[in-house]
Structure 1
Amino acid sequence: MLVTACSKKNQLPEKLPADNIVDAKTENDVTDPPPFFTIFPESGNTTYHSYRIPAIIRSKNGVLIALAEARKNSDDDWGDIDIVCRRLLKTSTDEVKPGITNAEWTSQTVIAGNNNVVLDDIPNVPSDAVAESYSNQGTFGNPTLVTDQTTGRVWLFMSFNDKDHCQSCNKVAGDGTYDQYSNVTKYGDRRLFLCYSDDDGATWSTPVDMTQELTPNTYKWDAVGPGIGIQKRFVSLENTLIIPANGRNLYKTPTGSWSYATVPSGTSESTIIERPDGKLLRNDRKAPAPDITDLANRYRQTSASTDLLNWTAPFQNNTKLMDPICQASILRYTDGSTTNKSRVMFMNSNHQTQRRHPAIRISYNEAIDWPIIRSIPNNGSGILGGYTSLVKTADNMTGALIEYNSTTSMNIQYHKISLGWILNGNPEP
């Protein structure tokens, strides 16, 4: 059964050429800040207190699909949290919407939440897990998307726990704010859900519990992504879909079902890219988080492997990428296989202790060095920075969802960035 997620407003666009044969767009003034607007919440929507944890992807037909956690009562990581969606349609191969105003995007609608998904009848409930009333308000989070460029299907993974549980929130005895919650302490408290869309995010299948199939039974806490996965294109296992998750990669071959392969421990909130030689690279948040004074370890963690199914290389400090111990985004922009250069984009808060100063970088040697970097200007009286998600748009720009802390609540901005702006007059190697 399909549940309505994002309403259709325009005819779907024609199929786009593959990214590797589309040149980069370098125009736009290099000194003006990139255009942006607040995408979550939709203008006038007062249903939720805050929005966090963005994810954005482009469908096979060129539609941008933007998701976020919509947090009903506070900006906390627990409680009543839904996954919401907005889309940017492209009406033809000749007409690309700029996407930099609220009105250009579809209305905000709910993909997963207690309002439109019945969670009572969950398949695959582990027999050793305590039965919970999942019809209660719950926490859907960590949206992680991947597009199958062969079939056009867009897959969405989400983490879930019921409204009475959280990762580590009942720390202060007698504090009424926390007394209503219990820590996740056993397998089954935290779950993994999967749904998909076959119409560019207009409708979505009912989320299905995949915990038993895709989460090791030794796990208590778990998280997928958040952000995006990839479709493998080179050397071996071509067209395999890959979603990064805690301690493993979820994957699906073109003819198979979803499965998982483990990776070394020591990280969370994961990202992944593929190099043209077929090697896979994970770029993750360090876990557990080092002390805020331990600057020697407050960097991104990276590990590479030529074998998806036998990943043995341990994660190491990547001292070229400082990090406040937060989620980040990585994106294959061009691969240079037919035209143009190989470019990988990376965005995080360029700081070791604070989630601010978001910066976008470019690597020309497959995420080893990052010679180009430019900070995204702050705006307003709040703080820009934190969780992000990157996408290559249909007009060959980089779209970035970035969290914005307005001090009383949190929302998400969409920034549209040209390659020329990132380069800022600097030559490419």
Structure 2
Amino acid sequence: MPITPKLTRRHCLAGLIAAPAFAAAPEPSVKITVFQAGDDGYHTFRIPALLATRKGTLLAFAEGRKGGRSDSGDIDVVVKRSMDQGRTWSGIELVADHGDDTIGNPCPVQDSKTGRIFLPLTVNPGNVTERQMIDRTVPDRRTVFITSSDDDGLTWTILDEITSFTRKPEWTWYATGPGVGIQTHTGRLIIPCDHAVEGTRATLSHIIYSDDHGRTWQIGGSSDPGTNECQIVELRDGSLMLNMRNYHQQNRRAVSISRDGGTTWEPITHDAALVESVCQASLIARDNVLYFSNPASTKRERLTVRASKDQGKTWSAGQVVHNGPAAYSCLAPLKRDRIGCLYECGETSPYERIVFTSLPQSVLG
């Protein structure tokens, strides 16, 4: 558990009186490798997702890729747990294995009322690629599954297929997250997703949601074409913001707002402050402040975490956590006013390892 700083005390003639409390200097940021390529029988680990549970446990999810770095092949979903805010981590645990198939795109969310953690995932045959599904050179389409945990991520239920409720018949490619879902002030659980429509090559961001604490799921609204992997936050006024990977060749993140709980989305805009390399990014909200991480460059490098105190209108310069090759990331709120970041990085490639660090909110702006 985190150690609570002791108040300094001073003596005076009237007795022992507590001195005024001064803010302690923030703990330094430490970088810890959680998943290392080549460990535990996996060639590569990719697609990090980080969930801070209501009990204070950190769950670090990733895809364990057995045959190589490819997005297709024999891919499992694995997890490690931390009970001390990311200082130490458990051994690797298998969450989902679909034989030789690809199962991945972890995007966990926890119901604040029941404590149940939901982990939606997507599946396709290991010998089938995203491009083949989009181009319809194979009959396969991606399917959607969900598993859950009632013991803070120690054990997980058998995979339950929810494709018929969460994918339209004309959708071919499909991905949950990756990253994390949210629960709104109304109790709605929302998972950000993306898909491709048969007959086109365009991809679109969309959401799925549950209004009954995860018992059933349904499809929400979709964004404009040319968007992809996305993350979602609830803003101060109750509206939703979708922040999306963008294929409009402007090297800027795409943003859309929903004012009806995600049923419809406004036309996308491009955030000039959020430079991107056409890559996944992370976005979370905490105490009316937004936190965002991505490779802040026109290529996959310079993993940066920044903050916005005006609901995404402007962004701080933030903090560079890895200046070299870097790619996907996921943020989580930690104790003692810190933000955790789980991210892909390396010296010659972004996919050499997945690292955890935590940053004081004060240094992010």
TM range (shorter): 0.7 to 0.9
Cα-to-partner distance string for 1:96-130 (whole Å, 9 max, x where unaligned): x2523xxx21110110114xxxxxxxxxxxxxxxx
Q: Tell me the residue number matched to 2:57.
A: 63
- 1:351 pairs with 2:351: no
> Following the alignment from structure 2 to structure 1, what is the Cα–Cα distance between the partners of residues 107 and 282?
12
Q: Tell me the residue number matched to 2:86.
A: 99
Q: Tell me the residue number matched to 2:148.
A: 196
Give the direction of change, closer, same or farther, for the CA distance of 1:36–1:190 in structure 2 (3 Å limit).
same
Q: 1:52 aligns with which of 38, 46, 50?
A: 46
Pairwise CA distance, 1:185: 4.8
Which structure exhibits the higher relative contact order, with contacts defined as CA atoms closer than 8 Å and separated by 6 or more residues? 1
Cα-to-partner distance string for 1:297-349 (whole Å, 9 max, x where unaligned): 111000001102531411222222111000000111223xxxxxxx1111111
Q: 2:254 aligns with which of 284, 291, 301?
A: 301
- 1:75 pairs with 2:64: no
> Following the alignment from structure 1 to structure 2, what is the Cα–Cα distance between the partners of residues 308 and 54?
27
Q: Tell me the residue number matched to 1:415.
A: 357
Give the direction of change, closer, same or farther, for the CA distance of 1:182–1:225 in structure 2 (3 Å limit).
closer
Pairwise CA distance, 1:45: 3.2
Q: Tell me the residue number matched to 1:119.
A: none
The answer to whether the Cα contact below 8 Å between 2:104 and 2:123 also exists between their aligned partners in 1 is yes
Q: Tell me the residue number matched to 1:390.
A: 331
Pairwise CA distance, 1:391: 0.4
SS in 2 for 1:271: strand
> Following the alignment from structure 2 to structure 1, what is the Cα–Cα distance between the partners of residues 244 and 175?
12
SS in 1 for 2:173: coil
Q: 1:254 aligns with which of 212, 218, 221?
A: 212
Q: Tell me the residue number matched to 1:151.
A: 114
> Following the alignment from structure 1 to structure 2, what is the Cα–Cα distance between the partners of residues 398 and 81?
29
The answer to whether the Cα contact below 8 Å between 2:40 and 2:92 also exists between their aligned partners in 1 is no
Query: What are the residue-to-residue correspondences of 1:29-48 with 2, within 5 Å?
Result: 34-41=29-36, 45-48=39-42
The answer to whether the Cα contact below 8 Å between 2:57 and 2:85 also exists between their aligned partners in 1 is no
Q: Tell me the residue number matched to 2:7.
A: none
Give the direction of change, closer, same or farther, for the CA distance of 1:370–1:109 in structure 2 (3 Å limit).
same
Percent identity reads: 29
- 1:245 pairs with 2:189: no
- 1:283 pairs with 2:270: no
Give the direction of change, closer, same or farther, for the CA distance of 1:308–1:323 in structure 2 (3 Å limit).
same
The answer to whether the Cα contact below 8 Å between 1:41 and 1:411 also exists between their aligned partners in 2 is yes
AA partner of residue 282 (structure 1): L
- How many correspondences in the alignment? 331
> Following the alignment from structure 2 to structure 1, what is the Cα–Cα distance between the partners of residues 269 and 139?
28
- 1:112 pairs with 2:96: yes
Give the direction of change, closer, same or farther, for the CA distance of 1:209–1:361 in structure 2 (3 Å limit).
same
> Following the alignment from structure 2 to structure 1, what is the Cα–Cα distance between the partners of residues 237 and 162?
32
AA partner of residue 26 (structure 2): N
Q: Tell me the residue number matched to 2:311.
A: 366
Pairwise CA distance, 1:372: 4.1
What stretches of structure 2 of length at least 5 have no aligned partner? 2-22, 195-204
The answer to whether the Cα contact below 8 Å between 1:166 and 1:183 also exists between their aligned partners in 2 is no
Pairwise CA RMSD of aligned residues?
2.4
The answer to whether the Cα contact below 8 Å between 1:244 and 1:271 also exists between their aligned partners in 2 is yes
The answer to whether the Cα contact below 8 Å between 1:86 and 1:105 also exists between their aligned partners in 2 is yes
Q: Tell me the residue number matched to 1:340.
A: none
SS in 2 for 1:310: coil
Under a length normalisation based on structure 2, what TM-score does the superposition of the two structures give? 0.84
The answer to whether the Cα contact below 8 Å between 1:184 and 1:221 also exists between their aligned partners in 2 is no
Give the direction of change, closer, same or farther, for the CA distance of 1:260–1:75 in structure 2 (3 Å limit).
same
Pairwise CA distance, 1:384: 4.1
Q: Tell me the residue number matched to 1:232.
A: 184
What stretches of structure 1 of length at least 5 have no aligned partner? 1-9, 11-24, 90-96, 115-135, 170-180, 336-342, 424-429
Give the direction of change, closer, same or farther, for the CA distance of 1:232–1:185 in structure 2 (3 Å limit).
farther
The answer to whether the Cα contact below 8 Å between 2:60 and 2:79 also exists between their aligned partners in 1 is yes
Pairwise CA distance, 1:260: 1.3
Pairwise CA distance, 1:189: 2.2
Pairwise CA distance, 1:368: 1.6
The answer to whether the Cα contact below 8 Å between 1:54 and 1:412 also exists between their aligned partners in 2 is yes
Give the direction of change, closer, same or farther, for the CA distance of 1:219–1:62 in structure 2 (3 Å limit).
same
Q: 1:223 aligns with which of 159, 168, 175?
A: 175
The answer to whether the Cα contact below 8 Å between 1:186 and 1:220 also exists between their aligned partners in 2 is no
Q: Identify which range, 77-86 or 206-215, moves more after superposition.
A: 206-215
AA partner of residue 391 (structure 1): A
Pairwise CA distance, 1:421: 3.2
Query: What are the residue-to-residue correspondences of 1:315-354 with 2, within 5 Å?
Result: 315-335=268-288, 343-352=289-298, 354=299
